[in-house]
Amino acid sequence: MSFFRIKKNVYPLFAIVASIAIIVYALVMAKRASCSYFLIGAYFWIMIFGCFRSCLRMLPIYIIVGGLFSALFYLATGVASSALTMANRFGGIFLAVAIGMSVESVTMTRNLSQLRCPRSVTLGMLIATSFTTVLRTEINRVRESMKTRGAGSILNPKIFYRAFLIPFVTRLVKISDTLALSVETRGFALGKVEYTVYKKENIAFSDILFLVGIIVGGTLAVVL
């Protein structure tokens, strides 16, 4: 019965396939008006299937960036279709990013671990995805210390190199050493070691419906 349950998030691998499909459709049909309809439909479809927040977050960015590029292209070419092309292309990419944002790094790691992906790859992906917030904090700290020491403007290349880059990389090395120790003490091992996945990611009916909806929508937009 778990197959028919309603899931909060899309199956991670299906999310990747869906985002690739959307980008491909958007790039291939960028010049057609049907592409815009497809993208609007896909936007609401994605929203229904657990990407509500990321879709809302992406919308203002898309309006600003997509609008800016469309306006630029319209001014450069004087043809409305080139503005539409640009809007469609950006729409496709922002939709794909919205899907990507809704996939949690932990679920992706679990999914890949279930599929017996090498441990080194899953560990690396997990760290790379979840490290962005730590990086932001570290960047702020280094900048704060620059201010405290009166190091000068970060826009000066010499100051940027000496007072920002070097302390920043030093912090990264220290963090990585601590994190590696922490990972090892939690019993994580590389190589051919038996392991279990605590929470398994299984395909549900809603995941199939999500993917099929996008593929059917894209195909209809191409054919009609």
Interface with another protein (CB under 8 A) = 16, 19-20, 23-24, 27-28, 30-31, 65, 69, 85-86, 89-90, 93-94, 96-97, 99-101, 108, 120-121, 123-129, 131-132, 135-136, 161, 165-166, 169-170, 172-177, 179-181, 183-184, 188-190
Contact 92, 26 (CB under 8 A): yes
CB of 204 to another protein, least distance (A): 22
Q: Which distant-in-sequence residues (6+ apart) come within 8 Å of 51 by Cβ? A: 10, 98, 99, 101, 102
Q: Which is nearer to another protein, 115 or 190 (CB)?
A: 190
Token pair 């991670």 in the structure block, residue = 12
Q: Which is nearer to another protein, 40 or 166 (CB)?
A: 166
Q: Which is nearer to another protein, 2 or 78 (CB)?
A: 78
Token pair 């199939």 in the structure block, residue = 208
CB of 5 to another protein, least distance (A): 26
Sign of CA dihedral 64, 69, 72, 73: negative
CB of 137 to another protein, least distance (A): 12
CB of 98 to another protein, least distance (A): 9
CB of 19 to another protein, least distance (A): 5
Contact 83, 73 (CB under 8 A): yes
**How far is CA 36 from each of CA 27, 61, 83, 88, rounded to the nearest angstrom?**
11, 17, 12, 6
